[in-house]
Structure 1
Amino acid sequence: MGSAVDAATMEATQRLIKKKPTVVFVLGGPGSGKGTQCANIVKHFGFTHLSAGDLLRAEIKSGSENGTMIENMIKEGKIVPSEVTIKLLQNAMLESGNDKFLIDGFPRNEENRAAFEAVTKIEPAFVLFFECSEEEMERRLLSRNQGREDDNIETIRKRFKVFVESSMPVVEYYESKGKVRKIDAAKPIEEVFEAVKTVFTAQDDKVAA
Structure 2
Amino acid sequence: MTLNLSFIFVLGPPAVGKGTLCGHLIGQYAVQHMSVGDVLRKVVASNNHPSIHQKLEKQELINPEELLPILKDKLSEADLKDPERRVMLIDGFPRSKAQGEAFEAELVAPRLVLLFRCDKEVARKRYLDRKRGKDDNAMFEKRYHEYEMEGEAIESVYEKRGLVLEVQVDTEILESWDNLQNLLAQDQRWNSLFIR
Question: TM-score normalized by structure 2?
Answer: 0.85
Structure 1 unpaired stretches of 5+: 1-12
Q: Matches of 2:163 and 2:38 in 1, distance apart? A: 25
| Superposed CA offset, 1:38-93 (max 9, x none) | 111111113221111221221232233xx234224445765422122222221111
1:141: Cα distance to partner? 2.5
Residues 1:71 and 2:57 aligned together = no
Cα RMSD of the aligned pairs, angstroms, is 2.1
Q: 2:136 pairs with 133, 136, 151, which one?
A: 151
Q: 1:86 pairs with 65, 68, 77, which one?
A: 68
Say which structure is richer in helix: 1
Aligned AA (2:155): V
Equivalent residues in 2 for 1:107-122, closer than 5 Å = 107-120=94-107, 122=108
Q: 1:189 pairs with 169, 173, 186, which one?
A: 173
1:32: Cα distance to partner? 1.0
Q: Matches of 1:129 and 1:181 in 2, distance apart? A: 6
Q: Is contact 1:52-1:85 (8 Å) kept?
A: no
Structure 2 unpaired stretches of 5+: none
For 1:206, the equivalent position in structure 2 comes to 192
Q: Is contact 2:169-2:176 (8 Å) kept?
A: yes
Deviates more, 1:111-120 or 1:73-82: 73-82
Larger radius of gyration: 1
Q: Is contact 1:26-1:106 (8 Å) kept?
A: yes
Q: 2:14 pairs with 16, 30, 36, which one?
A: 30
Q: Matches of 1:179 and 1:108 in 2, distance apart? A: 17
For 1:127, the equivalent position in structure 2 comes to 113
SS at the partner of 2:110? coil
Identity score, percent = 28
SS at the partner of 1:80? coil
Question: TM-score normalized by structure 1?
Answer: 0.80
1:103: Cα distance to partner? 0.5
Q: Matches of 2:65 and 2:71 in 1, distance apart? A: 10
Q: Is contact 1:26-1:129 (8 Å) kept?
A: yes
